[in-house]
Each structure stands twice: as C-alpha cells, then as structure tokens.
Amino acid sequence: MTRIADLLAKGRTYSFEFFPPKTDAEQATLVKTLRDLEPLGPSFVSVTYRGGAESRQRTFDLVTGMLRTTTLVPMAHLICVAHSRLELADILVAYRMAGVENLMALGGDPPTGPDDGPGELNHAYELVELARAIGGFSVGVAAQPTCHPLSPDVASDRDHLATKLALADFAISQFFFEASEYVGLVEDLAERGVDKPVLPGIMPVTSLSSVPRMATMGAAVPAWMVDRLQAADGRGGKDAVRDEGVAIATELCDQLLGVGVPGLHFYTLNRSSATREIYSTLGLAAV
C-alpha cells in the first residue's frame, strides 16, 4: 500500500471522498461510482465514519474491501467521540493488521445515539497521538477555511489547527467556494510556523435545493454563486443549474491550481459525473 504523506512528497494529489452505503441501492450506486472513478487514477480515496459500531464496521468493510479488490489507495476516517481510548486503539490495530496505512483523525460531532458515551479523547490531536503510538499510519486532519462552528473566533481556531497539523502529516479542508478563503487559511498557518500540505475540499453545488443544506454541512453558498445558479435555472431549469454548478467548481479548481495547491480533494457524495467532468475540463485525466 501507499502512504499519503509519501504521495504528497512526490507532487500534487487528486483524491475522492465516499461514505459507506446503508442500503442495497446505495451499495449499487457506490459500486458504479467506484468503477467510473477508478480509471481516473486518483492518488487516494477516503471513506467517512460517523461513529457507533454499525458505522464503524461499514467504514472498515469498505476500506478493506477497496484494498483487496481495487487499485485504489483508501484512507479510513476515525472519530474520537463515543469511544474509549482502548476501543480506538483496537480499531487502529485492526486497520494496521488489515494493511491500511492511511488515517483521517477527526474529533467528530457530539454523540446522539442512546448507547453513545462521551468518549475519553476530546480533540483530534489526541487521536493523532494515539495513531502515532500504534505506529505505521500516515495521518491527516480536518481544516476549516473559515472557522469551525465550535470555535469562539478565527484566531483560536487557527491555533488549534496548527497544533494538530504539527502532529499530523497533512490536512484536508472542509469544502468552500472562494479561493481566497483557502489562501487565507494557508497564510495563517504559515504565520504559526506550520507548512504541512493542506488539500482543498471541493463540493460542486448542482441544484438550488441543496443551497440551504450547504451551510449546515460546512459552508454557506455565497450570494454571487446563488445568483449564477438562479440565472441558469431561468435559462434552462435543473439541467442548466447542474451544469453551472459544475462550471463554478471547475473555475474554483482552476484558481486553486493557479496558486499552487498540493492537491484537490473532491467530495463526491458517492456520485461520479461531476468529478469526471471537472477532471475532463481541466485535463487532469482522460474520462
């Protein structure tokens, strides 16, 4: 297997993110998506995880299945909440025994299930330290281009990010829509003496109905972007909105490549068409 830190040391990476399916229909969609995207030759792919035994097993099965049956380099997400230190250590050891070398260490959302305890680790950097103690992992952490919703202000948010990124190998950002937000994030980290790679997260907005949801997922859609999507809707309806959303995401990727980002990380929502179109337009790979 290949460590993501080694890939980043060699040059720019292109990566995709998936979530584990819950139903047979979702499984079929994901299998098709993987078949569509694998020929693009992504540097690595990541698999999300929400916590709890069921979600943990789905993530584990998907990551190890990719390792056995595809050419993809998978990275497993793991969160602190609702787990004891021993449980987290057991999960990490199981991944290493299965041959998984790449880990995304996350704090996680507050537990909501009736059987979810608070967990023993409170912050992602503690999970990074635990993964380092187990050994053998290339570890990534999450970054917010604006500010984490639980942080009191941007400065303290950047301080916390600098602390955990100093321990990790790289970061992947939450999705955003303005290249200047990413540039500001990297500059703030540099002022704190941290120059680890930060991969920008890309999320194409392909429908007007998804605009309100973006804010709850991590980043509000700016007014200029809503105007462009609404104008497209007036010209040609839903298909035109989708095409405009892909075009906007492509423009953002082009701007980011222009400022020398270490890679691009695509939030696919287990679909392939938007990512394949962006790849084709930018000439990143044959579709």
Q: How far is it, in rounded angstroms, from Cα 280 to Cα 276?
A: 6
Spatial neighbors of 86 by CB under 8 A, at least 6 apart, are none
Token representation of residue 103: 């880990």
54 classed as catalytic = no
Catalytic residue from among 17, 101, 126, 277: 17
Q: Return d(Cα 40, Cα 15) in angstroms, integer.
A: 10
**Closest of 232, 228, 208, 212 to residue 220, by C-alpha:** 212
Q: CA-to-CA distance for 188 and 208, rounded, in angstroms?
A: 33
Ordered DSSP codes for 169-208 = SEEEEEE-S-HHHHHHHHHHHHHTT----EEEEE-----G
Distance CA 274, CA 245 (A): 9
Which residues are part of the catalytic machinery?
17
